[in-house]
Amino acid sequence: MAGSWTPDLKRWGKPHYLAIAEALADDIRNGRLTPGTRLPTQRALAEALDLNFTTVSRGYVEAHKRGLIEGRVGQGTFVVDPTRTAHSGSAAQRVGPVDFTMNLPPEPDAPALQARMQASFSELSGDLANLLRYQGFGGTDADKEAALRWLKGRGVDTNRERLLICPGAHSALFSVLGQVARPGDTICAERITYPGIRALAAHLGLRLVDLPMDRHGVDPDAFAAACTKVAPKAIYLNPLLQNPTTATLSRTRREAIIAVARRYAVSIIEDDAYARICPAPPPSFAELAPEITYYVAGVAKCLGAGLRLAFLVTPSARSALPVAGALRAATVMASPISTALATRWIMDGTAEAIVQFVREESAARQRIVASLLPAETYTADPHGFHVWITLPDGWTRSAFASQGRSAGLGVVGSDPFCVAGTPPEAVRLCLGGPSTRQQITHGLEVLAHALEGSPALASTYI
């Protein structure tokens, strides 16, 4: 029966995807399918049963959830040994749906690295009483020394007077925006940009003006035109592995933007979230134009989203004072536990080991993307862990997201990223977090099949 299983779905009187899972359970229970049996590919089963590919995919997802089957990268889908399943956790924990929505770095799964990370965390308990007390604002001398080492690894060479340790990039951006602009003032940003800056600008009553982009990022000429027309106080940029488009500004493009910013006395807010992921990135704005750049380097995208910590470098020691006041008023201090853990990881080399894992795992996942998605449909960076898909004619972002949800896959349409105008028919896929390569492969196979066909074939309405 290996690879040729063709169940009779009519007898179950249920939607086809549920009938597939029921038929699998029944055949396993009655010995018609034995542990280790290789099942047909989803495409082959869809053809054999004259069903939509997505329906079969949903059936396999449901069977995964019930612990009936498992996928093996490069091999196929197999019937699970129920005795092994009983001792290895629930099926939902092992497989589960694939969430492409949250932009998290891949989570380290190498036992040695996991043990190293856990040991560092456990060692903090020796100073737990102190870590549960209020700390001086801005971090201890040891914390700042670690932060300076981390920044120097990106090429940002600064001093302690310009450095602030913040409880995450959002708090840093919030405080900087509140100091460089007042309600009603204008801030420029990429037309397609990180949604967080939209929320922060709205909360502060700032006008966000969009700048057109090409595949290299923001157009410097358009920035110059905006400066003469709306006199912005600052320009916000996510210039490295931009979220969501994956674009990276070249050094030439950065220098052109700096020239405009200097000419019109506009501050640059550089959100360098992926600073340590690229092994050889272009120089940062903070390196090229330190006197006008507020540089924010969060560690969430490099070490883990739950480590809410960011290093903020201001243009001068004087400009650090009002930003520090705003941070202190809004946040009191960065979490001593998070700060101490990051400091330990940076100083003992664990942080660099995590970064190296994220680089290598992201590259492996990007190779999976390249093997499954048509090259003309997406943009990506070999070192990044998200992908920007431009949908083929006929697809809308809402229809594609709905199609993904029906197969247990989450994707994000372009709407939250668009500063102005009509959002493009595009979606962002994130390849990190707890998802395994096996799950990534399965989810991309489903989406690749959808991209190959007509949206009409994916309709689930009756």
State yes or no: pLDDT of 192 exceeds 90.
Answer: yes
Select from 92, 111, 146 the last residue of a domain. Answer: 92
Mean pLDDT of 224-233: 98
Residue 45 lies in a domain: yes
Asked whether residue 324 falls in the same domain as residue 221, the answer is: yes
Q: What is the mean pLDDT of residues 127-150?
A: 86
Q: Note the pLDDT of residue 84.
A: 55
Q: Do 371 and 330 belong together in one domain?
A: no
Residue 43 lies in a domain: yes
Query: Strand pairing partners for 428?
Result: 388, 412
* pLDDT the model gives residue 73: 61
Residues 292 and 431 in one domain: no
Domain boundary among 348, 371, 400: 348
Can you read off the two tokens belonging to residue 317? 């020691």
Mean pLDDT of the chain: 89
Q: Is residue 118 a part of any domain in this protein? A: no
Whether the CA torsion 202, 208, 212, 218 is positive or negative: it is negative
- Mean pLDDT of the 396-408 span: 87
pLDDT score recorded for residue 223: 98
240 and 155 co-located in one domain: yes
With CA atoms as reference, report the closest residue to 104 among 240, 307, 249.
Answer: 307
> How many Å apart are CA 98 and CA 441, to the nearest integer?
10
Residue 422 is assigned to a structural domain of this protein: yes
- pLDDT of 97 higher than 70: no
Least confident of 166-175, 202-211, 277-286, 450-459: 450-459
What range defines the domain where residue 434 resides?
Answer: 352-460
Tally of CB atoms within 10 A around 46:
19
The CATH number of residue 436's host domain is 3.90.1150.10
For residue 20, give the CATH number of its domain.
Answer: 1.10.10.10
For position 236, what pLDDT does the model report? 98
Residue-wise pLDDT for 142-187, tens only, equals 999 999 999 999 999 999 999 999 999 999 999 999 999 999 999 9
Q: For residue 95, is pLDDT > 70?
A: no
Separation CA 449–CA 355 (nearest Å): 33
CB neighbours of residue 291 within 10 Å? 8
Q: Is residue 98 part of a domain?
A: no
What is the mean predicted confidence (pLDDT) over 435-447? 87
pLDDT, tens digit (0-9, with 9 covering 90-100), for 246-288:
999 999 999 999 999 999 999 999 999 998 999 899 999 999 9
Q: Quick check: 140 pLDDT over 60?
A: yes
The answer on 146 and 64 residing in a single domain is no
| Predicted local distance difference test score (pLDDT) of residue 332 | 87
- Give percent of the chain above pLDDT 70: 94
Q: Are residues 336 and 365 in the same domain?
A: no
pLDDT of residue 96: 52
pLDDT of residue 90: 40
Given a cut of 80, is residue 416 above it in pLDDT? yes
Determine, yes or no, domain membership for 79.
yes
In percent, the amount of the chain with pLDDT more than 90 equals 62
Res 235 pLDDT > 90: yes
CA gap 296, 300 in Å, rounded: 12
- Count structural domains, the chain: 3
Please write down the HEC assignment for all residues of the chain: CCCCCCCCCHHHCCCHHHHHHHHHHHHHHCCCCCCCCECCCHHHHHHHHCCCHHHHHHHHHHHHHCCCEEEECCCEEEECCHHHHHCCCCHHHHCCCEECCCCCCECCCCHHHHHHHHHHHHHHHHHHHHHCCCCCCCCCHHHHHHHHHHHHCCCCCCCHHHEEEECCHHHHHHHHHHHHCCCCCEEEEECECCHHHHHHHHHHCCEEEEECEECCEECHHHHHHHHHHHCCCEEEECCCCCCCCCCCCCHHHHHHHHHHHHHCCCEEEEECCCCCCCCCCCCCHHHHCHHHEEEEEECCCCCCCCCCCEEEECCCHHHHHHHHHHHHHHHCCCCHHHHHHHHHHHHHCHHHHHHHHHHHHHHHHHHHHHHHCCHHHEECCCCCCEEEEECCCCCCHHHHHHHHHHCCEECEECHHHECCCCCCCEEEEECCECCCHHHHHHHHHHHHHHHHCCHHHHCCCC
Q: Tell me which of 451 and 7 has the higher pLDDT.
A: 7
* 317 domain residue, yes or no: yes
Instruction: Give the integer Cα–Cα distance in Å for 144 and 153.
Output: 14
**CATH code of 304's domain:** 3.40.640.10
pLDDT in tens, 370-379: 999 989 999 9
362 and 426 assigned to the same domain: yes
Whether the pLDDT of residue 232 is over 50: the answer is yes
> Are 289 and 390 in a shared domain?
no
Predicted local distance difference test score (pLDDT) of residue 55: 84
Whether residues 13 and 67 share a domain: the answer is yes
Among residues 348, 370, 395, the one where a domain terminates is: 348
Q: Is the domain of 245 the same as that of 309?
A: yes
Confidence band of 88 (pLDDT split at 50, 70, 90): very low
Q: What would the mean pLDDT of 207-212 be, rounded to a whole number?
A: 96
Give pLDDT, residue 455: 73
261 inside domain:
yes
- Are 49 and 144 found together in one domain? no
Q: Within this chain, do residues 335 and 362 fall inside the same structural domain, yes or no? A: no
Check whether 392 has a pLDDT greater than 60.
yes
Q: pLDDT band for 458, please (50, 70, 90 cuts).
A: low
- Res 74 pLDDT > 70: no
Average of pLDDT values for 349-367?
Answer: 95
Confidence (pLDDT) at 454: 67
Instruction: Give the pLDDT score at 289.
Output: 98
Per residue in 284-312, pLDDT tens? 999 999 999 999 999 999 999 889 999 99
